[in-house]
Amino acid sequence: MERLTGRPLHPFLRRGIFFSHRDLHEILALYESGTKFYLYTGRGPSSDALHLGHMIPFLFTQYLQEAFQVPCVIQLTDDEKFLFSKDNNKKLEDYQRLGWENAKDILAVGFDVERTFIFRNTDYIHSMYPNILKIQKAVTYNQAKAIFGFDDSDNIGKHGFPAVQAAPSFSSSFPQLFGSQSNLPCLIPCAIDQDPYFRMTRDVAPKLGYRKPALIHSKFFPALQGENTKMSASVANTAIYVSDTAKQLKTKVNKYAFSGGGATIEEHQKHGGNCDIDISYKYLSFFLQDDQELERIRQDYSSGKMLTGEIKAKLIQLPIK
């Protein structure tokens, strides 16, 4: 990738945050021989604002778009969140609104206005529908149950949805961008939990005469409370939101970011901090671009020279980009 783009690798790649892939080498080989690909990623709009974990695939996709100068399509699955939500008080219109809100956070990452198409499924379904039908016909109910764990009490909309997430993997779903006959290679950056959708997609692609999409997967971003806790959109203090004020961000990090430091300053200076479990260090390892500075922080914190308050202060003032 460095050779093809003439740029240094993104820290997410250098540090193994994007850690696995399917057929990435093929996408790169095609690119090298002059065939451009397009990028596809998405978001299920379930909260008003995105948190840092949600931003990871978008930050990375934007980097890929800029480095390779390729088109990008972004799917907002208001339909998915409506069908899969257990909250019966929320209306379809609520998810449509969240999709609209989230589009702003996503575009603010810096996608190329000339090369980016962002859409909400309830608006755009029409153009994708021929491909959705072809995918639905090629997947049996048994397969869908085995992949997604549906059972007979799930609503019927859920069973049909995977085809809707699969469809943008095929460039003919975007006739106004690529033409209806197109079969451009597709690369999908996503969090690892989305892989089942695309295993299904890759399975049906040859049956439809399409190319299999390639994938590159990210690890999960840890919650403030520690590596093995989950960020929750409904529990506000588990995550930092892009809509948090500078003050809220400071309070959250100081109050909730799990610390691998010593219980007292004396103890910390004697035994040092543990970067393997320290959330401030973890977050810095996602977002601090400078490898040397990160390594210096790791050494100083591990030796006890840098205090917990200091590593938190470093994180609080760090710009994300």
Tell the smallest beta-carbon distance from residue 42 to ligand TRP (Å).
Answer: 3
Quick note: the x/- pattern for ligand TRP over 68-107, rule CB under 6 A, is -------x-x--x---------------------------
Tell the smallest beta-carbon distance from residue 120 to ligand TRP (Å).
Answer: 11
Among residues 80 and 278, whose Cβ is nearest to ligand TRP? 80
Q: Is 44 in the site for ligand TRP (CB under 6 A)?
A: yes
Tell the smallest beta-carbon distance from residue 103 to ligand TRP (Å).
Answer: 13
Among residues 194 and 238, whose Cβ is nearest to ligand TRP? 194
Quick note: the x/- pattern for ligand TRP over 190-219, rule CB under 6 A, is x---x-------------------------
3-state SS record for 176-191 = HHHCCCCCCCEEEEEE
Tell the smallest beta-carbon distance from residue 80 to ligand TRP (Å).
Answer: 6
**Rounded alpha-carbon distances, angstroms, from residue 143 to 29, 75, 194:** 32, 24, 16
Q: Within 176-195, which residues bind ligand TRP (CB under 6 A)?
A: 188, 190, 194
| Distance in angstroms (rounded) separating the CA atoms of residues 289 and 136 | 43
| Distance in angstroms (rounded) separating the CA atoms of residues 35 and 9 | 21
Among residues 28 and 190, whose Cβ is nearest to ligand TRP? 190
User: Which positions touch ligand TRP (CB under 6 A)?
Assistant: 40-44, 75, 77, 80, 165, 188, 190, 194
